Amino acid sequence: MPRLVGKLYGKFADLRNSMYDRGALKSFDLGVRTVSVGNITAGGTGKTPLVAYVAKLLADTGEKVCVLTRGYGRRNENERVLISDGSSVLADWKTGGDEPVELAQKLLGSAIVIADADRVATAKWAKAEFGITTFVLDDGFQHRRVKRDLDIVCIDATDPFGRRTILREPVSGLRRADAVVITRADLAENVTELRAELRQNNERAQIFTARTLIVGLVPIGADDQVASEPGMSFAFCGIGNPDAFFEMLLQAQIDVVATRPFRDHHRYTQGDIDDLAENARASGAEALLTTAKDAVKLLDLKFPIPCLVTEIETVVEEVAEFRQLVLTS
């Protein structure tokens, strides 16, 4: 089924891209520097931490940064929601979306985050309201209505071309990318071959490798309380590539005794939590572990046993070259 859906996506994407290439559809300049971070598969590429990484690089140079996102799965994707003004998170996941709220939390003090399907109109409003000097498009590779100065595409080394997910457009679409970041490179053994395959589809793009590090374990709802070693743990998540999350925990030598994946963007109920706690206890686990994306949807639920959130960061191996590209392209 994913391959069939991917083919349908591909045909639509090819038609739409050809219309932009011919000028039948118009792209709009946002009036300030614009960097897009996206992918060619439907979720699970490690895009969100890379968006945060890029936004922080820009903010650290004094830019007034705004992340523009659609906010998949929120209550009304056509409603404009100021998720963060840069100082406070102003929306919950139901109105803002789980990934945008996660981004807002990561970027406090560094960037404003706004969700709206119409990113052109939102950019105009944000410039007038906040004096934005740089926009970062979250999940922007297919959003060609917005012109960009730099197009970055994430490719997950553990599932490069949608074998477990869905391709949003043919791999040939990578020819539009200015840069490709191979994420989760530390979790795969095919990086050399993957680089060669990417080069066949784009001769000019800079190719980078990145890994994801766990930088802390924080109890649900805590602001900055870093937990000690969790002991035997039961891991769960509702993200695009759950296997990559579970493997990352193992690589970090966290004692995971059992795992439970949910569908991407899963909306948790108290019944889910009670079942997880029961299964964890039966497995001999002392705590639950989950992702920051999941955590934003868990704050109103009660946990019979401790639940810790894995705080992660993206580390680009070719850090100087990547920083130069982001800041000067």
Predicted local distance difference test score (pLDDT) of residue 224: 59
Nearest CA to 207 out of 197, 218, 221 is that of: 197
Q: CA 298, CA 287: separation in Å to the nearest integer?
A: 15
Residue 152 confidence (pLDDT): 98
Mean local confidence (pLDDT), 299-326: 96
Alpha-carbon gap, residue 172 to 227, rounded angstroms? 44
Residue with tokens 């739409």: 16
217 vs 227: CA distance, rounded Å? 5
* pLDDT, tens only, 149-170: 999 999 999 989 877 778 889 8
pLDDT above 60 (res 3): no
pLDDT for the residue 229: 72
Report whether CATH 1.10.150 matches the domain 214-312.
Answer: no
Residue ranges of domains in the chain: 2-212+315-328, 214-312
What is the reported pLDDT for 305?
A: 95
Task: Please enumerate in sequence order all residues whose Cβ is within 8 A of that of 327, keeping only pairs 6 or more positions apart, or say none.
Answer: 57, 58, 61
Phi, psi of 239 (to 5 degrees): -130, 175
The tens digit of pLDDT for each residue in 181-233 reads 999 999 998 899 999 999 999 999 999 999 999 999 999 976 655 666 788 99
SS (H, E, C) 128-153: HHHCCCEEEEECCCCCCCECCCEEEE
- Please, what is the average pLDDT of the chain? 92
Q: Residue 290 — very low, low, confident or very high, per pLDDT cuts 50/70/90? A: very high
Which pLDDT value is given to residue 43? 76
Is the separation of the CB atoms in 286 and 229 below 8 Å?
A: no
The answer to whether the beta carbons of residues 97 and 72 sit under 8 Å apart is yes
Q: What pLDDT, on the 0 to 100 scale, is given for residue 223?
A: 64
State the pLDDT at residue 314.
92
pTM for the structure as a whole: 0.92
pLDDT in tens, 229-266: 788 999 999 999 999 999 999 999 999 999 999 999 99
Q: Which tokens is 235 given? A: 């891991």
| Helix, coil or strand: residue 86 | coil
Say whether domain 2-212+315-328 belongs to CATH 3.40.50.300.
yes
pLDDT (0 to 100) of residue 20: 86
Q: How many CB atoms lie within 10 A of CB 329?
A: 15
Q: Is the pLDDT of residue 74 over 60?
A: yes
Q: What is the number of other CB atoms lying within 10 angstroms of the CB of residue 294? A: 25
Q: Do domains 2-212+315-328 and 214-312 have the same CATH topology?
A: yes
Residue-level pLDDT at 97: 96
Mean predicted confidence (pLDDT) in 264-277: 97
User: How far apart, in whole angstroms, are the C-alpha atoms of residue 119 and residue 25?
Assistant: 16
- Tally the C-alpha atoms within 13 A of residue 28's C-alpha that lie toward its C-beta: 10
Q: Which residue has the tokens 């990561």?
A: 106
Residue 15 banded pLDDT, cuts 50, 70, 90: confident
